[in-house]
Every structure is written in C-alpha cells, then in structure tokens.
Structure 1
C-alpha cells in the first residue's frame, strides 16, 4: 500500500533537528507522496526549494488567515509567481479562523477573497482552512466558487460535510478522527464521504493520532503515522484498507494533478 499525505507542515521548527529522518521514516511507512503546506509567502518559497530536491514532494502556496495581517504590499504578485512553479499544486492554506483571530476578520476575508479569485484565474485547487467561521466562509465560497479544492483538516458534522460536498470539495481527514474526546461528530460524518472525495493527512507535527501504539515520546506527529489514521477510517467506513489506499492515491492525483503512478514510482525509487 502506498499513501499520500496531503498535509505536512514540514518547516515547523519541531522538525528542525531531523527533517531528513522524517522523510525517511515516511518512505518506510509507505508514504509515497507528501504535500507540504504553505502558510505564508516565505514558507511557500521554502517548500518549493525543498520539493525540487526531494522526489514525491509537492507544495501548496498561500497565506493562512493567521498571517493575513502580515502580508507585504506585493504579496499577491509573489503568490502569483509561485503558482507558476511546477512543485506548487494548490493555493493555500487559505480561509478564515474566527477562533483565535490572530488577524482582524476583515483582513482575513480580504486576503481569502484575493486567493479565491487567483484560484479561479489559474484553475488551481484551493487548500482551505476553516475554524469557527463556517457560515462566513461558506458564504464567501458561494460568492466565488472554486473549481476544485479540499477542506483541509475537516472536523465538522454531517451538515457541514454536506455543504462542502455540495461545492464539489474534497475532504481531508486527520488524526482528529482518532480522538475519542472530541471526534464523535467527525466519526459519524466520515461514513458519508463519497469514496472519490476522501483524502488523508497528518497535519504533522500536529494532531498525533491517539490510536497510535506505542506513542512517540516527543508527542509529535509525522507523516509516517498516516497509516494509523487510515486504519481508523477503514474501520469506520467498513472498507478494505488496500482499496482505501488505492482510492486515496487516485483522489490525490486527480485533485492536485500530480505525476501518474508509474512515473512517480520510478522517481521515488531513484530519489
């Protein structure tokens, strides 16, 4: 089985001491493709450089709502240039976060709207963040519907799931599903995700799956732990895990327009 992890914050400082080893462990665990998350322009550029040097790695490029208040005057020009890079397969992480409000809400909405417009102009999928801002974000997506995209780290209920699916979005599932303390609504909803809309992600180094045994002493999540999330998804959906792996790989390739299976396998074997 070969997996695609569509959400890795590889340039988190939690990986500063062993980034190469993290990739090696991911490969040993059957993770054939990694999507690095760009949360601002600088991180997106850093991701692109890294992806050029490592087969099977791709990146998003964008501005997270936490960073919306910090954008430079020419941020949109810089982002547009990044989208021309072969390694960049999505716009984001972008969206709204009304939980922490690290950026003023009007600024979040303005930066998000610009990225939605850019997605329409470039036909790139959007990599969406939403926290405690569902109604506002849904309204904005209805105003500027993306041609394609993924609800990154979906943690909502069945009604929210339906709203995202009605927009033809893919659904990214993380280790939140494995948390018995707070994942009940998500566990109820996951069975309703169409097979061709399901994607898996670790959001590493965050959201360590609680079904992992033994747990790492660092309590840090990493791509090698994606199979623990997949096992829980397969159990809840009563799906054969091999079929899940094949479907998830196809979904990842379809959404992000990454390399065909045979080409990617050759690149990984020689990377």
Structure 2
C-alpha cells in the first residue's frame, strides 16, 4: 500500500522544524481521523485502550483522530485488526493527501526527500523535524517570533508530524536514515521537563524499533568538529543522485552542484567519526532520560 505524495507532501515548515510556514489544510486527514474515532467509539474503546491495542500512545491516537498526523502503515494495519478487520481503513489510507504548511524555500527539498533512499541530517539547533514529538514541535513553533495564530500553528504541526511517515520501515524500499544531533540540543530542555522526557522517549523508541534509523550524538566536548558551518542535510534519490539542502534565517536552498555536495559529504563523514557511536549515543539518551 502506498500513500499519495502531493507536491508539498508532508514537509515540515523548515528542515529543522522551525517557524515560518505557509499553512495548508488536509480534509482527507480530518475525514480519516473522524472515521477512526467513530470506529473506536463504536467498539467501546477509550483512546488509551485503543492505543494499547495498536501500540501507539493515546496522544498519537488523538493526533490522528483530529487530522493533525498522517497515520503510518503500522497504525493502519493494527487499527484494522483492533476495529474488526472491515478493510475500510486500509482502503481509505492510499487516498490521504498532505497539504502541509511549509516554507516556500523548503518545497524543492521536500520533493527530493519524499522519494529519497538515503537521508543524512546533522543538526545543531533543534531536534530534527522528522524526530519531533507533537509537544516538542509545538514548543519550537512558539519559541520563534512572530507567534503564529492558532490555526496556523495547528497546520504547521500537522505538516511536521505528517512528514514522519518517511521513517516507516514498510516503505518500499525503506529509507536509510542517519542523524547526528548535538548533545547541547538534547540538554536544552526545549518546552520544559515533561516535553523533554517525552522527546527522549520518542527518540529511544525510534532507535530501538526502526532498524533503518541510525542516531548519533555529538558530545559536548569535541575539540575537533567538522560541523562548525552549521546544519547539513543530504539525500540520495532512487537514481543514486545526491542533493543537499542548506538553511538559514528565513531562507534555504537546494544544492545540486556536485562539488558542493562532495564537500558536504566529506564533512558529514567526518562528523560521523567524531560523534559518539550509535551504541554509546543510545546509552547517553537513556542516562539523560533517567536523570529527569
């Protein structure tokens, strides 16, 4: 089963999950969510009970039912089993579209990203948008002036969460992800203690469940650092062509020049060697969560 990808499909407001989006609304997501809610209530299940059956949190269930999040394939299949195997959700899922609120400068990258077979991200500002919880995405959106109005805020968060469909291991072929995130970003406590604890839980769940996700932490003390010029995003297309994306304050650009891409690939390779190993990064995450 494949989901529809619109031109603006599922991208975050920006590569790192910041502000400045051009909002959009997806009626198909709202309709699908209302249908899930009706079936759940007909079965006499609370959101928490249903969440236990489909192995998603009650907050994720709420986001899907309210049309704020694109359901991934695991959710659709488990929901079918939990709600009577009518086939209705399975048939409806391919028709979902994502009219996401995303910055105009991000759209070209979003098109590349939705079909990429490899995606590499180094981030020194925030947790990457693909890994954010809803609460973290909300906190980031409210941190950066100007403040969005309530409708725009919801559209922006819907866009960011819908983009996370790309992480699914059931995609054919599944995308191979590499993330390198600065330890300082994790210890910033964006949104406060509760938001941070939930965000750590989300990261641990993804790392341990999604075999296509490699996550590394750049330690606080690293005398040799190849990422001093800022975030790096690299993508490999099904045709094995590479693209990169660079973003700053209220702007960004897609990079197709092979020399520039080669330079960024060299920097990213160096960052991988300088960051903690995936195993040590997992251990650090567990210690950070345990300290909260």
TM-score using structure 1 length = 0.31
Rg larger for: 2
TM-score using structure 2 length = 0.29
